[in-house]
Structure 1
Amino acid sequence: MTTPTGHTEAIAASRVIGTSVYNTAGESIGEIEDVMLDKMSNGIMFAVVGFGGFLGMGEKYHAVPWSTLDYDKDRGGYVVPFSKEQLKAAPAHSINELTAGDGETARDESYSYYGVQPYWH
């Protein structure tokens, strides 16, 4: 699966986790907390982006379709084409809720909310 600008090189999940996420306006959104993998299709279901907390308290976790993240070398992080308001209004979950129903609930909700073509179709 490629990013919007066509990046296709492999990267270790350990390098992705902890990477900052920005919107196209350059505002810091949060950081990637985890990556959910679809074991049956070998695809990446979504990135778990955490934001809104302070010192780990009150943080919300959002399933963001992997295909919407684009790495920006100059920023040293990923850029998503969503406003801060869109992200704040997006469905939020606990880390455990993100894996409920094999992750499909959060995945489907996320792809629908952001209007992204599902990779599994």
Structure 2
Amino acid sequence: MMTTHTGHTDAIAASRVIGTEVYNTAGEHIGTIEDVMLEKSSNGIMFAVIGFGGFLGIGEKFHAIPWSVLDYEKDRGGYVVPYTKEQLKAAPAYSINELAGKDGEKARDASYAYYQVDPYW
């Protein structure tokens, strides 16, 4: 694996990402990476699927977070996103089935627009 100038690697196994905790810059626990949505036509990652709440999977909503905004912090043992809890609570949320609807483009487009992240496509 190559290491980037920031010390991160260019490649990581999805199995290592799934289950990783997510925090905001204030150190508050936000949720857990439940999955990653892959875009097969470009061989890229559309977004990370982050679970926020629910009980035993009942009523849990998922957020599509642009992959590029997740920054792994080794000391914290998880990913950090530059958003407040309020911003994340107000973000578009989906059931797991809705995330894959329209080939994931609906969730992807809404996520990138909400978080004001430049589209990769």
Q: TM-score, normalised by structure 1?
A: 0.91
Aligned residues: 117
How big is each residue's C-alpha offset from its partner over 1:25-70, in whole Å with a ceiling of 9 and x where there is no partner? Answer: 0000000000001111111100000012233332210000000000
Name stretches of at least 5 consecutive residues in structure 2 with no aligned partner: none
Give 1:24 deviation, angstroms: 0.1
The corresponding residue for 1:38 is: 39
The corresponding residue for 2:118 is: 117
The corresponding residue for 1:68 is: 69
1:106 aligns with 2:107: yes
Superposed CA RMSD: 1.4
RCO comparison, higher one (Cα < 8 Å, 6+): 1
How big is each residue's C-alpha offset from its partner over 1:65-112, in whole Å with a ceiling of 9 and x where there is no partner? Answer: 000000000110000001011111100000010000000000000000
Letter in structure 1 aligned against 2:63: H
Write the distance in 1 (CA, Å) between the matches of 2:9 and 2:83: 22
Provide the identity percentage: 80
Give 1:6 deviation, angstroms: 6.9
Name stretches of at least 5 consecutive residues in structure 1 with no aligned partner: none
Structure showing greater Rg: 2
Map residues 1-121 of structure 1 onto 2, 5 A cutoff.
Answer: 5=6, 7-120=8-121
